Structure 1
């Protein structure tokens, strides 16, 4: 089992939010300020130095929940480059409604609270993917547990 302590740089939001992001957030009933203050998912570029736009996280693929666990994200994680969060791109900020019901299953960190919830989403995602809808290919996605940075268990 690999565990990574990473710094992920979020999209730089200067002078407010983009019109596209505001439109999608309104459609999906998302408070942008609340989201960006609390989101602990894996979306963004991996960087070596922390900035005001970055967050430090510890990521692994263990199934258990612990007191230091923010929750579980589904996506693609490349330690050398970027990471893609299905929660970020397909539940919160998608212009499609395929996964909107899953927003109600996210915790205050905008992650799934249990591995089981993340797995349920991944199974439903596969059904939508098999129906040839325009979503990320399920076989590329994995479930990641997100912990507070530098946490040792």
Structure 2
């Protein structure tokens, strides 16, 4: 059984529904969850919000937060996760926003990804992971793997 299939089994056992809010992964996390046949009973929906305008329109991310700290921040990851939860039938939502590369800056280097995990009735968790300059594909793959681990931990 794959890790994703095991995650979906955990969600079924917990009677959980999952939503995703993705920026730097552009839908890869939703694709990973829906690659497993039968995932529709657990996966509710995914929001691909690559632009700041999409984050605001689809998830309710505050323009003030974006202006103050930028899209790659724990604050925006929190608002993305909470927005996905509020705009879905999910009980658990994970959000990712980061710098996949190539490039970055001294303040926001390539490989920095912020995660948000929102659950109904519980405080939202946020964290930043520095994956390093793995290249665009490497950062995106590492981000998906980490988000799946966060979901599994929340369910397990």
TM-score by length of structure 2 reads 0.29
* Higher RCO structure (Cα 8 Å, ≥6 apart): 1
TM-score by length of structure 1 reads 0.29
